Amino acid sequence: MAFASAQLFDAAFLESLKHLRLVARRVPAGGRFAEQRSVDSGGGIDFKDFRPYAPGDDFRAIDWNIYQRLGKVFLRLYEELEDLPLYLMPDVSRSLFLEEPPRVIAGLRTTLALASISLNHHDKVGVFPFSDEASTLWRPQAGASKVMLLGERLATLEPGGTTDFRQACQYLERLRLRKGLVAIVSDFFDPAGMDAVAHALKTVRHRLLLVQLVRSTDREPTVDGEVRLVDCESGSAHNVSVTPRVRERYINSYDAFQERLAQTARRLGAGLLQIDVEQDIVAQFAKVFEKGAYRVA
Amino acid sequence: MTLTNVSPWGFWMGCAALALMLAVLQWLRTRHRTVHVVTTLFWQEAMEESRARVFWRRFRHPWAYLLALLIAGLTWLAWADPRPEREGAVETVILIDGSAAMMVGDRLAQVREQVMRELRRLPAEHRRVFWVGGQTTLLLDRGEEALLLEARWKGRQAEVAPSGIEQACLALSSEAEARPLQLVVAGNGSLGDDVLTLLPEDVKVLRLVNEEEEAKPSNTGVRALGMAATLGNPETVDVWFEVDAPMSEVQVKVDAKPWTGALNERQPGRVWCEAVPARGGRLEVRLSNGGALSADDVAAIQLPWRQRIRVSVSEDTPLPLRRVLEADDAVEMVDAEADVTVGFTTSDGIPSLVWDETGEAFVFVSEEAQAPESLHALMGLDQIDTVGLAEQSGRVVRLQVETGPTRRAQLWPQLLSQEYHFIQSSAFPLYVGQTLRWLAKVPKVDPYVAAGETHPRLKAAGVPFALPRAGDYEDGLGQLRVAHLSGDPLSSDKGSEPRVTTLSGAIKGGSWATWLILVVLVLLLGEWVLFQNGRMP
């Protein structure tokens, strides 16, 4: 069930992305989540260090003042500011296509919003959707003008299978991408459980931004009475008598899941951002940036 | 314990149906509604999984089922309205007063409403309903549906009749030997203390009373109406009546025309209309303002048809007999067109008084069979010296009754001679006068007939009986009009009857239904609490 591009990214949303980019632009240097100082010295403007001249070095970097004083040739090193590649991993498992409105809309809009901000800062953006297996939808590339094209590609995504973080993270690692920021947009409902999710995230050598797609009924479901609950991904069914006591235990279990996810994010130094799928995505992002900055780590 | 609204069989059938229905509901309840969710992770930790759909596992919550069954069963039992066994076994008889007193206002309509309401509370197998008007009629028997009573009551009106409640109570009290009896009087018919003391101890008398207190109605009416033969004038009668209203409000009419003759109050409270022509008309006494009860505002009496008896006598008629005939004001001696002939018979069917030695001493020939005893008294023969006559005549003196086409009276000729002392006896003129009137079929003047009172002329199997209500009747002697009720019907309105329990609500109080409903409410509350605590699915 692919979405029409116009349906997924309507005019109002695309218009609001401009506002989001403006808001993001006001974030001071060093505040962008996709900006990093490179370990390499280069042609930046901030002085970093000196080192002895070696054959083949750029003569323009020789500090002639030191040569006059010490009679030795040293090179003046400046910090090289590099962009931080953003690797977006939207979850397209079946669970994101359930309910109304489906979470996948919010997930893909979030993906495009993050991509739009990064591309606007000339960062490279790659998109690797996943469910029970991951794939490359958009190879890492820069260019602010490619936002619309990326949007069209996102709209072609079809529902996948179950959510499998282990497979998704292994796929990402196999790509051997330049170190960057991995933004995982998902509900994090992996049938293997939160332990499997945490274990898989540990294998990611990039910085992590976890964007959790939530809705109010996740914590307080509306189901009541005698129900047969069918997991939309695994197809497993469970007959449940939803009593106040059961409902209370459910909430406890959900809260524990949330706590575990937050704990995992803290341990991995990852950012955790909750997006309410029933609210306006851009407005929620704008609120984040209006605070000044959003640092992953 | 007995059930009011349903039979025991029906009750248990209902319980079985409830149990089955709840079981089905329980079964239906475990048919889970399928809901697709994004994940069952949290439910797996939280849920109490329902059992698979096999019968023995279906009742996963047997205590919940039993509690629901208990609540439903108690509600069903409350509807059935159980009563204690002793109370339920009591036979209840509702006596609806249909007498004249119930004609006042809407008394009968109110009683009807009360009876219909109370009837639903009584076990059908132990209750009956009687209508006690001029006659006592069974309106609803044991086991019959209450709806039948409505159909049978339809169109019934209170009758111009005295209250028969006391007689009905006495008649029904004999049933108390079999089981405790509860008599419920619905209406205003009074129960005298003398009657109540006659009732067995295990007969309980109740009275349904209106919740709205009724003001004592004021009433006046015609209390008595009668007549007597006018002395010296066989063609008129004297009519008398008693009223408890001013004479200015009294109107007397004869055949719908105002009576212009004199009204004399010979005795206190009794007014006479003297010398009213006895021409078979109808005399009506009416009050212009009779009060609450209209039934006693008017009374009427049928006047007899009386005229002189034209008698033709033979020349050989014994002198004593001729003198008696001439002395009788009601007799007119004629030569032709006689009503009765004396001493001879004719072939054109004229009744006759003759004498003949054959046969019995006194012979009466009538068109229809008559009891000798009644004629014996009627003709005054019970006053003659039968033994003396028998000794004198040497024959048995007897009365013989025969049937024939023409009335005829016959006696021994010796009885009319000086040989026997019959003509000297006081029975002789009586015999002659009564025989002539019998032969001429002169109607008898009934001095007084009132509904509910016995009268000498009214006998059944020789026993006097009372006609139940006012109105026109026909008997063997002609038309008889029961003019009125005796006394004021409202004067017998219910009074203070020490042994009668008055009830304005249910005939029986203290139903178990109320307590059962309370128990059901407590159980429902308990179920709610258990549900809130998560201990009840």
Please tell me which residue, B176 or B510, carries the higher pLDDT value. B176
- Its CATH class, for the domain covering A5-33+84-289, is alpha beta
Task: Select from B30, B31, B47 the Cβ nearest to the Cβ of A238.
Answer: B47
Strand partners, B466: B454
Q: How high is the pLDDT of residue B481?
A: 54
pLDDT of residue B527: 83
Name the average pLDDT for chain B: 79
What's the whole-number mean pLDDT along residues A112-131? 87
* Kind and range of the H or E run holding B94: strand B91-97
**Average of per-residue pLDDT across B118-140:** 83
Shortest CA gap A273–chain B (Å):
20
- In the prediction, which pLDDT does B350 show? 92
pLDDT band of A92, cuts 50, 70, 90: very high
Whether A162 has its CB under 8 Å from any CB of chain B: the answer is no
Give the global pTM: 0.44
Question: Is there a contact between B83 and B4 (Cβ–Cβ < 8 Å)?
Answer: yes
CA distance A105 to A111: 10
Q: Do B40 and A246 touch (CB under 8 A)?
A: no
Identity of residue A201: L
CB contact under 8 A, B47 and A246: yes
Over range B470-479, report the average pLDDT: 57
Q: For A3-59, give the DSSP string.
A: PPHHHHS-HHHHHHHHHHHHHHHTSPTT-STTEEEEEEEEEEEEEEEEEE--TT--G
By C-alpha distance, the chain B residue nearest A194 is: B41
pLDDT confidence of residue B77 = 86
Q: Which residue in the set A98, A103, A238 is minimally distant from B40, CB to CB?
A: A238
* pLDDT band with cut points at 50, 70 and 90 for residue B490: low
Q: Do A95 and B535 touch (CB under 8 A)?
A: no
Tell me the average pLDDT across B400-406.
Answer: 90
- B300 secondary structure, DSSP code: E
Tokens found for residue A227: 């129900």
User: Of all helices (H) and strands (E), which one includes residue B283?
Assistant: strand B282-287
Helix or strand or coil: residue B333? strand
Q: Where are the domains of chain A?
A: 5-33+84-289, 39-82
Nearest neighbour of B34 by CB, restricted to A191, A230, A248: A230
The pLDDT, as a whole number, for residue A44 is: 56
The number of residues in chain A equals 297
- What is the CA angle A98-A100-A102, rounded to 5? 50
Query: Is residue A274 left, alpha or beta, with left meaning phi > 0 and alpha meaning psi from -120 to 50?
Result: beta
More confident residue, A108 or B299: A108
pLDDT at A215: 92
What does the pLDDT average to over A268-291? Answer: 83
The domain over range B222-306+446-487 is classified in CATH as 2.60.40? yes
DSSP string, B465-478: EE-SSSEEEEETTE
Lowest mean pLDDT among A118-122, A236-240, A249-253, B516-520: A118-122
Which pLDDT band holds residue B30 (cuts at 50, 70, 90)? low
Decide if A247 touches B, using CB distance below 8 A.
yes
Per-residue pLDDT tens for B284-333?
888 887 677 777 777 877 788 888 899 999 988 998 899 999 888 888 99
Let me know: does B311 contact B249? Beta carbons within 8 Å. Answer: no
Does A142 reach chain B within 8 Å, measured CB to CB?
no
Give how far B32 is from chain A: nearest CA, Å. 4
Which of A49-53, A103-107, B205-209 comes out lowest in average pLDDT? B205-209
Residues B242-281 have pLDDT tens digits of: 887 777 888 888 888 998 888 888 777 788 888 888 888 8
Q: Which of B25 and B11 is assigned the larger pLDDT?
A: B11
Residue B318 neighbours by CB distance under 10 Å: 17
Return the pLDDT at A167.
92
B89-215+491-510 placed in CATH 3.40.50.700: no
Rounded to an integer, what distance in angstroms lies between the CA atom of residue B417 and that of residue B410? 15
Contact B46 A233 (CB under 8 A): no
> Which residue in B35, B40, B48 is closest to A246 by CB distance?
B48
pLDDT tens figures, A16-62: 776 666 555 544 444 444 444 444 455 556 677 888 888 888 788 88
E runs forming strands in B155-256 = 181-186, 203-208, 222-229, 236-243, 250-254
Q: Which residues of chain A does B533 touch, with a Cβ-Cβ cutoff of 8 Å?
A: 244-245
pLDDT at A36: 46
* Residue scoring higher pLDDT (B48 or A124): A124
Chain B CB within 8 Å of residue A244 CB:
yes
Instruction: Please state, in angstroms and rounded to a whole number, the distance separating the CA atoms of residues B112 and A165.
Output: 84
B38 vs A193, A232, A245: nearest CB: A232
B2-34 per-residue burial string, b: 16 or more CB within 10 A, e: under 16:
bbbbbeeeebeebbeebbeebbeebeebbebee
Residue A127: pLDDT over 80: yes
Is A232 an 8 Å CB contact of chain B? yes
Quick check: A191 and B39 CB within 8 A? yes
DSSP E strands in B369-462: the ranges are 399-403, 408-411, 450-451, 454-460
Residue A126 has pLDDT above 90, yes or no: yes
Per the model's pLDDT, the better-predicted residue between B258 and B89 turns out to be B258
Which of A65-74, A100-109, A117-126 has the lowest average pLDDT? A117-126
CA angle at residue A229 from A156 to A97, to 5 degrees? 10
- Where exactly does CATH 2.60.40 map onto chain B? 222-306+446-487
Q: What is the mean pLDDT of residues A60-68?
A: 86
Query: Which pLDDT score is estimated for A262?
Result: 94
Task: Dig out the tokens for B343 from the structure.
Answer: 């001493």
Q: What is the DSSP string of A171-191?
A: HHHHTTPPS-EEEEEE----T
For A230, the enclosing helix (H) or strand (E) is strand A225-231
Q: Would you call A238 and B533 a contact, using CB atoms and an 8 Å cutoff?
A: no
Does position B397 have pLDDT exceeding 50, yes or no? Answer: yes
Q: How far does B531 lie from chain A, in Å, by closest CA?
A: 8
Q: A140-185, pLDDT tens digit by residue?
A: 988 878 888 888 899 888 898 899 999 999 999 998 888 888 999 9
Alpha-carbon gap: B26 to the closest alpha carbon of chain A (Å): 11
**What per-residue confidence (pLDDT) applies to B223?**
75
Lowest mean per-residue pLDDT among B377-381, B403-407, B444-448 = B444-448
Q: What proportion of chain B, given as a percentage, has pLDDT over 90?
A: 6
User: Can you tell me the mean pLDDT for B413-436?
Assistant: 86
Mean pLDDT over B327-351 rounds to: 90
* CA B413 vs CA B311, B321, B398, B484: distances in Å: 19, 11, 15, 48
pLDDT of A38: 46
Contact criterion met (CB < 8 Å) for B40 and A253: no
Q: Say which range, A49-58, B28-37, B407-416, has the weakest mean pLDDT.
A: B28-37
Closest CA to B471 of B454, B443, B451, B487: B451
> Could you tell me how far CA A33 lies from the centroid of its own chain?
10
pLDDT at B236 over 70: yes
Q: Which pLDDT tens digit goes with each residue over A181-225?
A: 899 999 999 988 899 999 999 999 888 899 999 998 899 888 887
Structure confidence at residue B486 (pLDDT): 58
Q: Which residue of A has its CA nearest to B32?
A: A227
Distances (CA, A) of B457 to A151, B235, B302: 122, 22, 15
The side-by-side arrangement of strands in the sheet containing A86-90 is A138-141, A125-127, A86-90, A181-186, A207-214, A271-276
Does residue B396 register a pLDDT over 90? no
| Residue A297 binned pLDDT confidence (cut-offs 50, 70, 90) | very low
Interior CA angle at A101 toward A98 and A103, to 5°?
60
Distance from CA of A135 to the nearest CA of B (A): 22
Banded model confidence at residue B154, pLDDT cuts 50, 70, 90: confident
CB contact under 8 A, A227 and B35: yes
Residue A41 pLDDT:
53
| A222: contact with B, CB 8 A cutoff | no
